[in-house]
Amino acid sequence: MLRTIAIIAALVGAALGGYLLSEGLYGSNGDSSKAATTEKEEVRWVAAAPGRVEPGSGEFRINAAILGLVADVPVKINDGVEQGEVLIRLEDEEARARLAAAEAEEGLSRRQRDAQPATSGREDVTKGEDAVYSAEREVTGARFELDAALAGKRKGEATDQQVADARRRLSKAQERVERERLRYAQAQAKSDLPAPNQSESALTAARANVALAGAQLDKTRIRAPKAGTVIELNAKQGELVSPSPEQALAVVGDMSKLRVKAEVDDGEVGKIKVGQKAFVRSINFPDKDFPGKVTAMAPSMATPRINPRGPRRPLDIEVLEVTIELDDTNADLRPGMRVDAFILPNNS
């Protein structure tokens, strides 16, 4: 009986070993060269880590700054957008009315101030305040002029030169604001500065109201912070939107290059330096390696975000975020894809 059991066990073991050799461990047809390749690949890299693909500039997640109704969405997914271009416009009738009322109040207050004798010793402050207000209004006008030029270019009604001219005017207006604010601050810093009279104080308050109304109107325009491609768009005309960190209304990124943010476990951090070659693999392309190199390492360890530890493992080891810039030929990958990143030795 024992001899029979031993024979059966030997036969099962031989069959199982043959299966592992031919199928399970080394691949079909007993290809032992694949086993050697696998073993060789295991020592090709010095560190491996999970990663996530993102645009080369990173992802700019854009949300509404105020509660509002979507009036227009002039772009769509995969559209290229320029810096400062309006992605979403909210209803702005109320904001425009508030700005018009504030500007009317400012005009009345200015006329009342000019009709009275100026406070002696505040001439530089008065001049500086007038210059700052004028420069700020110029910025507001130049910004809406650029909005119109970019919208016109998208519709084929404006040229690149018109957009460039509008962008240049906005830049000059912003530079002027900075200069005038500095001069105004210097004038206010003088010792023994007399207090403003009633009309001067009223004008200062009126101009503050204009600034607040202008800022509120500007918030009805949700603009692209950088040039890039619209990767995600979650707003539709007629929808009510509000400030929320949960879901971005739009996501923009520079798709001319891709990068991977990998999370390297503690214990492998010392093997990695900026400049080392690397490659990534994706389950979507199992037979392809995507080459790149390490371009940045976070200054400190952090909790993992790609594979979070969960509430049962709150004290697990931390990870270091490593940025791998991929080569230009990696067009198959898409932002958001999960990948495995492999960092090669320094001498590779």
Instruction: Give 294-332 pLDDT, tens digit per residue.
Output: 999 999 998 888 876 555 555 556 899 999 999 876 678
pLDDT at residue 313, as a whole number:
54
Question: How close are the terminal C-alpha atoms of the chain, in Å?
Answer: 60
Say if residue 320 is in the same domain as residue 229. no
Of the listed ranges 14-23, 104-113, 142-151, 252-261, the least confidently predicted one is 14-23
pLDDT at residue 266, as a whole number:
87
Say if residue 243 is in the same domain as residue 298. no
Say if residue 143 is in the same domain as residue 116. yes
Average pLDDT over residues 180-201: 93
Decide which of 195, 230, 253 is a domain's last residue.
Answer: 253
pLDDT at residue 283, as a whole number:
93
Say if residue 236 is in the same domain as residue 275. no
Say if residue 214 is in the same domain as residue 94. yes
In a domain, 103, yes or no: yes
In a domain, 23, yes or no: no
In a domain, 167, yes or no: yes
Say if residue 80 is in the same domain as residue 227. yes
147, two tokens: 């909005």
In a domain, 229, yes or no: yes
In a domain, 26, yes or no: no
For residue range 87-96, list pLDDT tens digits in order: 999 999 999 9
pLDDT at residue 330, as a whole number:
66
The Cα 342–Cα 47 span in angstroms is 6
Say yes or no to pLDDT of 186 above 80.
yes
Average pLDDT over residues 22-47: 46
Average pLDDT over residues 59-71: 94
Q: Which of 245, 270, 324, 314 is nearest to 292 (CA)?
A: 324
For the chain, how many structural domains are there in total?
3
Chain centre distance of CA 155: 26
pTM recorded for the entire structure: 0.75
CATH number of the domain where residue 262 is located: 2.40.30.170
Q: Which of 92, 43, 68, 8 is nearest to 239 (CA)?
A: 68
pLDDT at residue 105, as a whole number:
97
Please give the residue range of the domain that contains residue 280. Answer: 47-56+255-343
Residue type, 240: L
pLDDT at residue 57, as a whole number:
84
Say yes or no to pLDDT of 281 above 80.
yes
- 48 and 340 in contact (C-beta within 8 Å)? yes
Cβ-based burial of 76 (10 A; exposed 0-12, middle 13-18, buried ≥19):
exposed
Say if residue 205 is in the same domain as residue 243. no
Of the listed ranges 30-39, 103-112, 159-168, 275-284, the least confidently predicted one is 30-39
pLDDT at residue 314, as a whole number:
55
Say if residue 92 is in the same domain as residue 216. yes
Spatial CB neighbours of 249, under 8 Å, sequence gap ≥ 6: 62, 63, 64, 87, 88, 222, 233, 234, 235, 241
pLDDT at residue 56, as a whole number:
87
pLDDT at residue 13, as a whole number:
43
pLDDT at residue 191, as a whole number:
87
In a domain, 16, yes or no: no
Say if residue 285 is in the same domain as residue 196. no
DSSP state of 45: -
Mean pLDDT, rounded, of the chain: 85
For residue range 225-275, list pLDDT tens digits in order: 999 999 999 999 999 999 988 889 999 998 888 999 999 998 899 999 999
In a domain, 21, yes or no: no
Say yes or no to pLDDT of 19 above 70.
no
Residue type, 51: G
Given the DSSP bridges, would you call strands 221-223 and 250-253 parallel, antiparallel or unpaired? Answer: unpaired
pLDDT at residue 308, as a whole number:
64
| Residue 287 vs residue 25, higher pLDDT | 287
Say if residue 321 is in the same domain as residue 309. yes
Say if residue 63 is in the same domain as residue 101. no
Say if residue 95 is in the same domain as residue 72. no
pLDDT at residue 23, as a whole number:
34
- 158 and 149 in contact (C-beta within 8 Å)? yes
pLDDT at residue 315, as a whole number:
55
Of the listed ranges 9-23, 163-177, 198-212, 219-233, the least confidently predicted one is 9-23
Average pLDDT over residues 10-30: 36
Say yes or no to pLDDT of 282 above 70.
yes
3, two tokens: 């001899």
